[in-house]
Amino acid sequence: MVYIFVTAFVIAIILSFVMTPFVRKFAILVGAVDQPNHRKVHTSLMPRLGGLAIYIAFVMTLGIMLPILMKIGVNIQFNAVFAILIGGSIIVLLGALDDRVEISPKVKLLGQIIAACIVVFVFDLKVSFLTLPFGEAYNINGWFSTFITLFWIIGVTNAINLIDGLDGLAAGVSAIATATLLVLAIMMGNVTVIILSCLLLGSILGFLYFNFHPAKIFMGDSGSLFLGFALATLSILGFKQAAIVSLIVPIIILGVPISDTFFAIVRRIVKKEPISMADKSHLHHCLLQIGLTHRQTVLAIYGIAITFGFSAIILSQASLWILILTAVVSILLIMAAQKLGLIQKREKTVFRSVVNMTTQLLGLKS
């Protein structure tokens, strides 16, 4: 069975590597290029639509591997496969349109809601359990399960999109998250998640060769939205039956984009700005401002993402320490955010109160 997974991974890498130069030429031909502005790090026109290469490689490899898997009798959850294919196709089409003509945030959100609803209502993939720290796993269903699942898919989809600000950043962080999901799926013996993770990881890595600094092509919204959607759906599928880890482990796996998105939302609420408004205070911007080079910044965030990945694997095996570790990581994130300037003066008072309350509850501060 291992050779099947390795084969799928290698085919996906090759197809993505081969397709990316063609997609680059196509993006230039149709005018899907990224214009430099005050928020952008790059200073020249850059072709977008790179997400198409990731998506095409993923779909083509899946088309090659599915007949083989069926022939040898591998039990695949086809509802999950078609949920990612159909929902992902909507997301990629939406992102590609935005890469070309820049559609409004409301239209993008509507498309994401439609794709998420297909996962939930058509293919019945939902968050099944919620686990309280030091408590039991609760089986949830009905409207609450639906709400949590829709919120998770849309939130993660946008979180990956928000960190796509430097060459290779979103692709690399997504690859690390996918690799973590792959390791956990292997530990749990979830064949469907293993094969889909292999395909997604290979597709990302083949593209990353052209996307790492200095990039020859950007993934655009077609890529970042698709990766976010795929990761969100895979994490739901991967932990659907794993009550012991519930949704906490997937949150930690995606710790970098989720925490960056959280701080971005807080900044905009405090400043009374629209949540969809872009700014230049994301983690990668702050690291650049303190003197790191483009490449150093990306590698530093890769390191943080890998740390989150290892933490998720450890927590999946040791749920007793979830509360303590989550609290400690949260405090460290807030402290680091303050140091880097992710949290401005008006937000610091709120976060300082949260930190003080948390440390007092844990007995770390008298």
Binding site, residues? 161, 221
Q: What angle do CA 155, 161, 166 make, to 5 degrees?
A: 145
Rounded distance, CA 16 to CA 231, Å? Answer: 18
Residue ranges of the annotated binding site for Mg(2+) are 161, 221
Alpha helices (H) along the chain? 2-30, 51-71, 78-101, 105-117, 142-162, 169-188, 191-211, 220-238, 248-253, 255-270, 283-289, 294-315, 322-340, 345-361
User: Is residue 322 exposed (0-12), middle (13-18) or buried (19+ Cβ within 10 Å)?
Assistant: buried
How far apart CA 212 and CA 206 sit, in angstroms, is: 11
Rounded Cα–Cα distance for residues 276 and 263 (Å) = 13
∠ at Cα 161 (44, 188), nearest 5°? 135
